[in-house]
Structures are given as C-alpha cells and as structure tokens.
Amino acid sequence: MTSYIKNAGLIKIKYAIIWFTLFLTACNPNSDPENLSTSDTPPIVKVISSGGFAAAYNGLIEQIEMELGIQLETEYGSSSGGAIDSIPVRLENGDNFDVIILSRESLDNLTLKGFVTGDSRVDLVRSRIGMAVKEGSPIPAINDVTSFIQALKDAQSIAYSASASGTYLSTELFPALGIWEWIEPKSTRVLSERVAAVVARGDAEIGFQQISEILPITGATFVGPIPDELQKVTTFSAGILVNATNPMDASRLLDYLASEELAAEIEASGLSPVVLEKANEAE
C-alpha cells in the first residue's frame, strides 16, 4: 500500500511538471522547441553565378556570411549558350534563386522575360578576354593584332567559351579578322566547363575565356589579354529574381558585392570593379 501511494505521488508530480511546462510554453512563444532550434540559424540566400564572377565570389563567401549574418547556397552555370545547366535554361525549367550573377546582356534578357526584378540590377565588374595554354607549353606572343592572328593560325586546336566571350569571338571577331573559315575546323565551343580546364588536359592547344575564369585553373598558364583593339569588355551584373524567397537579404548581398569594401579582393581575381571606376571618375 505504501508503495502504491508513493507511485501515485510521483505520477502526480510528473503530470504537474508537464502541465507547468506547457503553461510556460503557451505564455512564451519563443520557448517553442521548433523556434528554439531555428532561432540561431542565419537566413539563407540562394545564389546562382556564371563563371566570370565565380572566382572572386568563392573567395568572399566566408566574409560575406560573417558580415551579413546570412548563409549562402550557391550554384553555377553559364550566362548563355543553351547548355542544360546554363542559367537561362535553368530558370526556364523552373529552378529558382534569390540572386543571379551573370553577364549584363544576359541579365537584361532575363529581365525582359520576367525572371528578374527590373530595378534590382547592380553592375559589379568589367571583365576582359584572355588566352591560356597548357602549363609548360610555349607561350605565343599576342601583344598586337598581327601576332595574335599568327598565334591562331599556328595553333593545332583552339577552344573558346560557349558564353559571352566565346560568342563574341566566333560570331564577331574571328569573322571580322577574315580567318574564321580557316580556324573554325580546328576550333571547339566548350559547354559546361572552363576553357582553361580543357587546355590544361591537352584537349586544346590554346583557349579563350574571361581572364577571371582562366586564372584559377591548375595546369593552365595565362598568356595575357587579347589585344586592346580586339578586346570586348563584358560587364557582369547581379539581380534579384521576381520569385525570390528572401529578397531583403538578397538586396543586402548585392549592395555588399558592389561596395568598395570588397573591391581589392575582387580586383585580385582579374576583374575590374565598377565601384572603383566610379571613384576614379569622381576625382
């Protein structure tokens, strides 16, 4: 009997504790277990970036997350070109992100198609086209138009990007130089991969892409930019998607990427920050 009374008493105490806990929870929503488990989790910003800005961006992820108190989830694709993993194709197939970073021309096209909020665009950097060869290979001279054309003629194989820089080379520059019919049979348009990676493997003797996409590739040597009079400078910009789930933090991210605070790191990746252009113009 005594044992029964003791057990009954313990049961009463147990239920009293349960009811008291439930009472506190009802009075204080912040004590909800679900809220407690997520209160310290930073908000997520989903980003998709083309290769032109990827090297600079990758080096800044940790700093961005710490300074802005956000968590970045990032994927990559080309600005154009029609590959299944290119940014335009992915958006058309229903993939969604908060922020996209790609060539200004492609961003403008996606804005016209209704994917990007029109007033959200921020120009981040200017990017130039460069040439790469396999590490250890002879380095051709391309400092003027004559030597550049000769390097194209001498090369056994040529690779170029399926994105903005390669489109310019294959549809504008090479035809304008009068050599496209000559070099087209030995040229390859590279989809879904860095051109410098193709060169590093030895699958192409020389390759052309944005300088910022050549520099990070192990096994490839950056020869230099193509001559100034043949150069096409591409602006890479960022925007917020119409269906963004976190537009507020997406806007903070764009402001930070375009700030002078990050300009030195971005410039070191082979890009020219637009914010420094504006500062020089203001002097």
Q: Are residues 223 and 205 in the same domain?
A: yes
Q: Are residues 207 and 221 in the same domain?
A: yes
Q: Where are the beta strands (DSSP E) in 81-205?
A: 99-103, 122-127, 129-134, 158-161, 187-190
Q: Are residues 212 and 195 in the same domain?
A: yes
Q: Are residues 48 and 32 in the same domain?
A: no
Q: Are residues 64 and 97 in the same domain?
A: yes
Q: Are residues 160 and 71 in the same domain?
A: no
Q: Are residues 172 and 250 in the same domain?
A: no
Alpha helices in 155-246 (DSSP H): 164-168, 174-176, 180-183, 195-201, 211-214
Q: Are residues 134 and 219 in the same domain?
A: yes
| C-alpha span between 83 and 48 (Å, rounded) | 15
Enclosing domain of residue 253: 44-125+236-282
Question: How much is the pLDDT for 192?
Answer: 82
pTM, two decimal places = 0.74
Q: Are residues 49 and 121 in the same domain?
A: yes
Point out the residues of the chain with pLDDT beneath 50: 1-27, 29, 31-37
CB neighbourhood size of 167 (10 A) = 19
What CATH number is associated with residue 208?
Answer: 3.40.190.10
Question: How much is the pLDDT for 283?
Answer: 64
Q: Are residues 144 and 188 in the same domain?
A: yes
Q: Are residues 201 and 73 in the same domain?
A: no
200-256 confidence digits (pLDDT tens): 999 999 999 999 999 999 999 999 999 999 999 999 999 999 999 999 999 999 999
| C-alpha span between 54 and 74 (Å, rounded) | 10
Q: Residue 130 is encoded by which pair of tokens?
A: 């460069």
Q: Are residues 56 and 92 in the same domain?
A: yes
| C-alpha span between 206 and 227 (Å, rounded) | 16
Structural domains in the chain (count): 3
Number of residues assigned to the chain: 283
Helix, strand or coil for residue 154?
helix
Question: How much is the pLDDT for 150?
Answer: 97
